[in-house]
Structures are given as C-alpha cells and as structure tokens.
C-alpha cells in the first residue's frame, strides 16, 4: 500500500503539458516529434554539403607547414667549406616555413554546378521535413479527435446509464406494487441493456485511452504528462473542392513532389559538373618558402640550394587536364540515368497523388453524407427518447418500448459522434493528400 500511494503521488506531482487544444497540439508535435527531428538531421547533413560546395570556390587547396629542428653546421660556399655534409658537428636550431595555395580561375561552370547541386539537395531535404511535419500533424488531428470521440461516447453512456437507473427504479416499484404494469421480463431487459451499454462503454474507454497514448507518443510526452482541453466534437462546415481543383492543389503543394523536382535539379547540376570536369581547368598557383639556420652560411648563388637557409616565392598560371576521360564520361552517364530514374519516380508519384486525392475526396463526400444522415437520425432519436420517457411515466407504454427508445437514442447519438469524427478525419486525409500545411500558432511545453 505505501508503494502504491508513493507511485500515485509521483504521478500527480509530475510536470504536465496543457491543457492543449488542437492548434497547440499540432504545433507541439512539429517541434517535439522524433520523426521530424530525424528529417531535420538529414537536412543539416545536406546543409553541410552545401557549405563544402561553397568553400570549394575559394582556395580549395592551401597548406602551411612549419618545421623546427637541429641541423649540422655549414660554413663557406659550394667551392670551399671546412665542414662536411656527413658530420653532425656544430648542431644548431633551424626553422622552415612553407605556404602553398591553388585558386581555381575558370572551370567551365564545374564549381557553380556543384554549388547548385548542393543547394538543390538542401531544398529537397527541407521539403521532406515539411512532408514529415504534415504527416505528423494530420496524425495528431486524428488522435486528438479520436480522444474527443471517446470522451463523447463515455458522456453519452453516462447519460443513458442515468436514465436506466430511473427505469430500473420504476420497474422495481411497479413489481413491488404488483400492479401488472411491468413484468419480470422487463427487469431482465433492463439488465440486458445495461450489460450491452457497459460493453460499449468499455470499448469507448479503450479507444479514448489508445488515442491519448498515441497522441502523447507523437508529442514526445508520457501519457500522464498530457492534458487536453475538453473541446466539443464538432465538424465545421467547409466546402468540398472539385476533383480537378484538388489535384491541381496537390501538384502545387505536395512536398514529396517538389522534393523530387529539387532532386532532379540536383542531378542536372551534377551532369553539368561532370561534363565540365572533362575540360581543361584554369588555376592560379602560388608558394612561399622561408628557412633559417644561424649556424649555416647563407648561399646567394642561384644555382645553390640550401633547404635550411632559403627565401623564395612564386606565382604561376596553370592549366590542368584530367585524362581519365572514360571515367568522367561514365560518371556523367550515371548522373543522366539517375536523373531519368528520378523523372520516372516523379511521374509515378504524380499518378499516385491523383489517386490519393480522388480517394480522399470520395471519403470526404461519404463522410459528409453520413453526417447529414446521422444528424437527421439524432433528431428523431432524441424526440423518440423524450416521448417514450413521458409515456412510460404516465403509464401509457411498456418498459420494453421505453428500452427500445433508449437504445435508439443511444445509437443515434453514437452514430452522430462517429460520423462527426469520420468527417474530421476525412478532412485531415484530404489536407494530407493535397499537401495543405495549415499555419498553426506556436506552442511550447516546459518539459524535458
């Protein structure tokens, strides 16, 4: 018992996030989702590649070397010297500095193409982040309204249970009086209906808990840390777009389609880079060397070279030609074939998107028709429920008729709640199929 109380206290004292409405939950999912975080990491890698491509334009090859160490003494000159190059006598300190650099001047657009390819890669990864964010947000919509559906069904079950308690009381009083208005079978009918109601209540509680657990996981929270605002389950009226309009919208907005467009652009730039690599590359090269050893005489004869006493520099214009032409041609051909594969994927994805949009529209139309029918049924079920209750109280109807009215009312209310959820989920499915990323207000949660 003490351990159970301690656990309950720990859960009650745990930090919570909320109460969250739908906008806040979607915004929080976009910032805390592990799936979005993985896509962001991929984009960071692409951004690093783009930085490398930009850096290659300025001194892609440059180095500085510093050498320090002892050297043997060397006096005199190339004609006469008292020292030997095979002796370690007269060791002294020496230092040498070497600086070399190469700057490309004209590469037939190779560096520009590499930069464009890297930039297109960043755009593609950014669009994939947007696609993942949309997928997560639409999942949040379904889970959020799934929790609201479970809450509505539980409230309906509580309402019907309260009415059943009243019926049970009246049946018991009538049986006790023996007035013949009800029979023992009516009591069994009440118990049977109550059992069915408990089963549906258990299903609603399970559905609500699963939606809550899934939503918490999507938000990167524990279920006990999540608090949701009790928003009523309502479906706002919104027009259903025409199929051609929805397909055109998806063509413009779907992040996966635009990401493939960016990938194709990257392959185009890669082809240009490989073709330019097969041409002569013009560059500027320079070097600077300085070395000094105090125990060695400086040689001023230009034909004499002492690596420990030196001061030289140079600047030259050069041309470099890569002679691995077959390899360069093969790389360009590979990039062209990869581009063709991406174009094929783009065409296939465009057809799939049209199919998804048409399917989402069909689901939305069916859900709208179902909601209209459920609303009409709910009105008649409510009227039947109220009339049967009044008739039973006045002794004008039997208990089985009242139970049938309760069952009809409960079913109509359940149908209405389910139809409302289906319409909200279908609308979210159409938003995902068309790539509609609805701007949401920013929300944060002070949790680790």
Q: Which domains does the chain have, with CATH numbers?
A: 16-55+107-279+321-434 (1.20.1600.10)
| pLDDT higher than 60, residue 191 | yes
Per-residue CA distances from 19 to 10, 161, 164 (Å): 20, 29, 33
Q: What is the pLDDT of residue 2?
A: 45
Q: What is the pLDDT of residue 5?
A: 42
> What is this structure's pTM?
0.78
Q: What average pLDDT does this structure show over 34-49?
A: 91
186 against 229, higher pLDDT: 229
| pLDDT higher than 60, residue 9 | no
User: 58: how many CB neighbours lie within 10 A of its CB?
Assistant: 10
Angle at 371 between CA 365 and CA 375, to 5 degrees: 150
Q: What average pLDDT does this structure show over 251-277?
A: 93
Please choose, from the candidates 327, 297, 324, 323, the residue with its C-alpha nearest in 3D space to the C-alpha of residue 309.
Answer: 297
Q: What is the pLDDT of residue 3?
A: 46
| pLDDT digits 0-9 by tens, 359-381 | 999 999 999 999 999 888 877 87
Q: What average pLDDT does this structure show over 161-172?
A: 77
Q: What is the pLDDT of residue 441?
A: 66
For 240-279, the DSSP string reads PPPHHHHHHHHHHH-HHHHHHHHHHHHHHHHHHHHHHHTS
| pLDDT digits 0-9 by tens, 322-349 | 999 889 889 989 999 999 999 999 999 9
- pLDDT band at 302, cuts 50/70/90? confident
| pLDDT higher than 70, residue 439 | no
- pLDDT band at 276, cuts 50/70/90? very high
Poorest-confidence range of 1-15, 238-252, 303-317?
A: 1-15
- pLDDT band at 255, cuts 50/70/90? very high
Alpha-carbon span 411 to 401, nearest angstrom: 15
Helix 243-253 crosses helix 325-393 at what angle (to 10 degrees)?
130
| pLDDT higher than 70, residue 10 | no
% the chain with pLDDT above 70: 91
- pLDDT band at 404, cuts 50/70/90? confident
| pLDDT higher than 50, residue 11 | no
Q: Bridge-partner residues for 65, per DSSP?
A: 98
Q: Dihedral angle at the C-alpha atoms of 237, 240, 245, 250, nearest 10 degrees? A: 80
Q: What is the pLDDT of residue 100?
A: 95
| pLDDT digits 0-9 by tens, 131-162 | 999 999 899 999 999 999 999 999 988 888 88
Q: What average pLDDT does this structure show over 412-432?
A: 91
Q: What average pLDDT does this structure show over 442-446?
A: 64
User: 432: how many CB neighbours lie within 10 A of its CB?
Assistant: 22
- pLDDT band at 289, cuts 50/70/90? very high
Helices in 280-398 by DSSP H: which ranges? 325-393
Average pLDDT, the chain: 86
| pLDDT digits 0-9 by tens, 72-111 | 998 888 888 887 877 888 889 999 999 999 999 999 999 9
Q: What is the pLDDT of residue 340?
A: 95
Q: For 424-442, what is the HEC assignment?
A: HHHHHHHHHHHCCCCCCCC
Confirm if 102 and 61 have CB atoms less than 8 A apart.
yes
Q: What average pLDDT does this structure show over 293-312?
A: 88
CB-based burial label for 186 (10 Å; 0-12, 13-18, 19+): buried
């Amino acid at each position: 018992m003490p351990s159970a109380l301690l656990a309950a206290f720990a859960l009650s004292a745990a930090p919570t996030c909320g109460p969250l409405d739908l906008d806040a939950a979607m915004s929080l999912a976009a910032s805390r989702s592990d799936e979005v975080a993985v896509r962001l990491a991929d984009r960071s890698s692409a951004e690093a590649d783009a930085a490398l491509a930009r850096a290659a334009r300025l001194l892609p090859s440059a180095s500085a070397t510093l050498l320090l160490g002892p050297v043997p003494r060397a006096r005199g000159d190339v004609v006469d010297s008292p020292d030997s190059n095979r002796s370690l006598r007269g060791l002294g300190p020496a230092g040498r500095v070497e600086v070399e650099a190469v700057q490309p001047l004209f590469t037939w657009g190779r560096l520009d193409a590499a930069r464009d390819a890297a930039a297109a890669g960043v755009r593609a990864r950014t669009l994939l982040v947007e696609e993942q964010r949309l997928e997560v947000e639409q999942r949040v919509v379904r889970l959020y309204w799934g929790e609201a559906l479970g809450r509505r069904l539980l409230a309906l079950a509580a309402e019907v249970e309260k009415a059943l308690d009243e019926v049970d009381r009246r049946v018991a009083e009538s049986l006790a009086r023996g007035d013949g208005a009800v029979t023992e079978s009516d009591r069994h009918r009440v118990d049977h209906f109550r059992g069915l109601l408990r089963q549906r209540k258990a299903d609603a509680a399970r559905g609500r808990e699963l939606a809550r657990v899934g939503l918490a996981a999507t938000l990167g929270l524990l279920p006990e840390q999540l608090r949701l605002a009790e928003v009523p389950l309502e479906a706002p009226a919104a027009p259903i777009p025409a199929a051609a309009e929805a397909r055109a919208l998806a063509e413009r907005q779907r992040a996966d389609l635009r990401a493939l467009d960016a990938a194709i652009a990257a392959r185009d730039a890669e082809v240009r880079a490989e073709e330019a690599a097969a041409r002569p590359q013009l560059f500027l090269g320079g070097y600077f060397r300085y070395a000094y050893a105090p125990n060695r005489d400086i040689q001023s004869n230009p034909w004499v070279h002492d690596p420990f006493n030196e001061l030289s520099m140079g600047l030259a214009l050069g041309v470099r030609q890569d002679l691995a032409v077959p390899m360069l041609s093969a790389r360009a051909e590979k990039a062209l074939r990869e581009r063709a594969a991406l174009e094929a994927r783009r065409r296939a994805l465009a057809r799939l998107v049209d199919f998804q949009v048409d399917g989402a529209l069909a689901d939305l139309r069916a859900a709208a028709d179902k909601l209209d029918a459920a609303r009409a049924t709910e009105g008649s079920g409510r009227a039947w429920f109220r009339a049967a209750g009044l008739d039973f109280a006045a002794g004008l109807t039997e208990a089985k008729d009242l139970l049938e009215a309760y069952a009809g009312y409960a079913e109509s209310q359940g149908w209405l709640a389910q139809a409302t959820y289906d319409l909200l989920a279908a609308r979210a499915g159409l938003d995902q199929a068309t790539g509609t990323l609805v701007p949401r207000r920013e929300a944060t949660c002070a949790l680790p």
